[in-house]
């Protein structure tokens, strides 16, 4: 007997892993990082039920979704900065990405529209889809008018609840006030006095809005209809003019909501001699400590990294490989042509190509950051 035990020490351990007592399994799950948690729960039914009794750590590492270039390719690739050697593939989305544009992301969801501005929200992992009401009918746009650039979508953002699937989608269109759609009313409604949108960001049921005249407002979306709760005028010179000087041109303006509780006005500036980008970061509101007496120039993001195109910040750490106090942005200004990804270091004021996320060999050049959040079924 003794002999037998020694010769085959693995015989009893072989089964042990799947027979781990429930409390021990829950304990293991509690300690797993986000990605490992999602994998482990798919292993077998006892692991799945243990995973349901432990809450996964909230994911703080954004992934890149890489849209295909070629026609009739309905798969996307997913890149997790924590696993640089891997590239995941999504399920067949049924979308022709050469004819679809991604406007925004929230959690694992993307807001997409086709060339006819039919909008829908799709979950990258489960492929679940929510068709949004047509902009055309609600706004009385005709086909001819829609194709004119003056009625194009300037920017879109959205929020969705993973469990209830309640959503809020907000769109700014040229020459029109900002419109929003909620799951409950399933139509588009205008938010009064929100024309000439320069930038907006949505966080914790609040819409932060800035127009070309420097009016900054906050709309509370908790109730049935959005309520304006705050307004002030920003006296930022560069808001009013697109051109700072003959060599400096503002190419994009964004409102960014940070993880530490600030709303920033961020301007991407193109310098023609020498040809470089730079960024102007101004703190306009602090939702943790309330209103600021006046806006403040921000010289450092501390340990945060900003995803400029998404209007968010993430905490940089050694696991996710993000560089603190840097702004990540795409080179092109047109959403359809986001080729290279760059990062601008706020301390050194240097811009570099994002080498560590080099995906060039995969022929997927349109990329968008998103922050995976899995439904905890």
Partner 1 sequence: MSKKIIFESSEGESFEVDEAVALECQTIKNMIEDDCTDGGIPLANVNSATLTKVIDYCKKHVEAAAAAEANAGDKDIYGANKDIELKTWDEEFVKVDQPLLFDLMLAANFLIIPGLLDLTCKTMMRGKTVLQIREIFHIKKDYTDAEEAEVRKENAWAFE
Binding-site member from 88, 230, 277, 287 for partner 1 (CB under 8 A): 88
When asked if residue 17 is in the footprint of partner 1 (CB under 8 A), the reply is yes
Site string for partner 1, 125-144 (x = CB under 8 A): xxx-----------------
- Torsion-angle region of residue 311: left (phi > 0), alpha (psi -120 to 50) or beta? left
Minimum Å distance from CB 246 to partner 1? 45
Minimum Å distance from CB 37 to partner 1? 8
Which parts of 141-160 interact with partner 1 (CB under 8 A)?
Answer: none
When asked if residue 317 is in the footprint of partner 1 (CB under 8 A), the reply is no
What gap in Å lies between CA 330 and CA 341, rounded to an integer? 4
Minimum Å distance from CB 38 to partner 1? 6
Minimum Å distance from CB 159 to partner 1? 22
Binding-site member from 40, 198, 206, 263 for partner 1 (CB under 8 A): 40
What gap in Å lies between CA 110 and CA 108, rounded to an integer? 7
Alpha-carbon distances, residue 248 vs 243, 343, 350, 360 (angstroms): 6, 19, 16, 30
Binding-site member from 5, 22, 31, 57 for partner 1 (CB under 8 A): 31
Minimum Å distance from CB 28 to partner 1? 5
Binding-site member from 1, 2, 3, 14 for partner 1 (CB under 8 A): 14
Binding-site member from 49, 91, 185, 276 for partner 1 (CB under 8 A): 91
Span interacting with partner 1, options 10-18, 191-199, 277-285, 345-353, rule CB under 8 A: 10-18
What gap in Å lies between CA 285 and CA 255, rounded to an integer? 10
Contact 291, 297 (CB under 8 A): no
- HSE of 325 in the Cβ direction (CA atoms, 13 Å)? 10
Binding-site member from 5, 22, 39, 353 for partner 1 (CB under 8 A): 39
Minimum Å distance from CB 338 to partner 1? 22
Contact 263, 284 (CB under 8 A): yes
DSSP for 92-127, please give it. Answer: -----TTSEEEEEEETTEEEEEETT--EEEEETTT-
**Closer residue to partner 1 in complex, CB, 78/139:** 78
State the residue for tokens 């679940």. Answer: 128
Binding-site member from 2, 6, 7, 15 for partner 1 (CB under 8 A): 15
Burial of 220 (0-12, 13-18, 19+ CB in 10 A): middle
Q: Are strands 304-307 and 312-315 parallel, antiparallel or unpaired?
A: antiparallel
**Count of residues in contact with partner 1, rule CB under 8 A:** 39
- Read off φ and ψ for residue 335, nearest 5 degrees: -60, -30
Helical (H) or strand (E) element with 202: strand 197-203
**Closer residue to partner 1 in complex, CB, 36/215:** 36
Please choose, from the candidates 233, 240, 199, the residue with its C-alpha nearest in 3D space to the C-alpha of residue 207: 199
What gap in Å lies between CA 374 and CA 41, rounded to an integer? 12
Span interacting with partner 1, options 78-86, 143-151, 163-171, 257-265, rule CB under 8 A: 78-86
Minimum Å distance from CB 27 to partner 1? 7
ω into 213 cis (within 30 of 0): no
Q: What residues contact 318, with CB distance under 8 A and at least 6 apart? A: none
State the residue for tokens 């023609």. Answer: 272
When asked if residue 115 is in the footprint of partner 1 (CB under 8 A), the reply is no
When asked if residue 323 is in the footprint of partner 1 (CB under 8 A), the reply is no
Which parts of 42-61 interact with partner 1 (CB under 8 A)?
Answer: 42-48
**Closer residue to partner 1 in complex, CB, 163/293:** 163
**Binding interface with partner 1 (CB under 8 A):** 9-10, 13-18, 24, 27-28, 31-33, 36, 38-48, 78, 83, 86, 88-91, 125-127, 374-375, 377
């Amino acid at each position: 007997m003794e002999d037998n035990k020694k010769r085959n020490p693995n015989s009893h351990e072989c089964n042990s892993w799947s027979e781990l007592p429930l409390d021990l399994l829950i304990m293991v799950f509690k300690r797993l990082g986000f990605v490992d948690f999602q994998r482990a729960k798919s292993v077998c039914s006892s692991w799945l039920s243990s995973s349901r009794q432990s809450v996964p750590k909230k994911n703080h590492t954004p992934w890149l979704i890489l849209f295909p270039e070629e026609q009739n390719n309905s798969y996307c690739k997913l890149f997790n900065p924590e696993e640089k050697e891997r590239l995941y593939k999504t399920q067949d989305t049924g979308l022709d990405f050469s004819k679809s544009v991604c406007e925004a992301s929230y959690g694992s969801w993307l807001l997409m529209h086709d060339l006819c501005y039919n909008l829908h929200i799709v979950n990258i992992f489960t492929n679940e889809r929510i068709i949004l009401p047509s902009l055309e009918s609600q706004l009385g746009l005709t086909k001819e008018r829609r194709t004119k650039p003056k009625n194009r979508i300037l920017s879109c953002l959205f929020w969705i609840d993973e469990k209830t699937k309640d959503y809020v989608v907000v769109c700014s269109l040229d020459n029109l006030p900002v419109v929003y759609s909620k799951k409950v009313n399933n139509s588009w409604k205008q938010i009064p006095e929100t024309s000439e949108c320069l930038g907006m960001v949505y966080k914790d049921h609040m819409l932060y809005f800035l127009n070309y005249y420097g009016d900054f407002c906050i709309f509370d979306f908790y109730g049935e209809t959005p309520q304006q709760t705050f307004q002030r005028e920003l006296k930022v010179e560069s808001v009013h003019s697109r051109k700072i000087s003959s060599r400096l041109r503002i190419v994009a303006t964004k409102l960014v909501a940070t993880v530490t509780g600030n709303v920033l006005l961020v301007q991407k500036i193109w310098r023609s001699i020498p040809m470089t980008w730079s960024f102007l970061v101004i703190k306009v509101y602090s939702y943790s400590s309330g209103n600021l007496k006046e806006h403040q120039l921000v010289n450092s993001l501390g340990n945060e990294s900003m995803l400029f195109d998404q209007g968010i910040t993430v905490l940089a750490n050694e696991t996710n490989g993000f560089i603190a106090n840097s702004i990540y942005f795409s080179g092109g200004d047109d959403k359809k042509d986001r080729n290279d990804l760059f990062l601008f270091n706020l301390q050194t004021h240097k811009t570099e190509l994002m080498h560590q996320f080099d995906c060039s060999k995969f022929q997927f050049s349109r990329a968008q950051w998103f922050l995976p959040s899995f439904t905890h079924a």
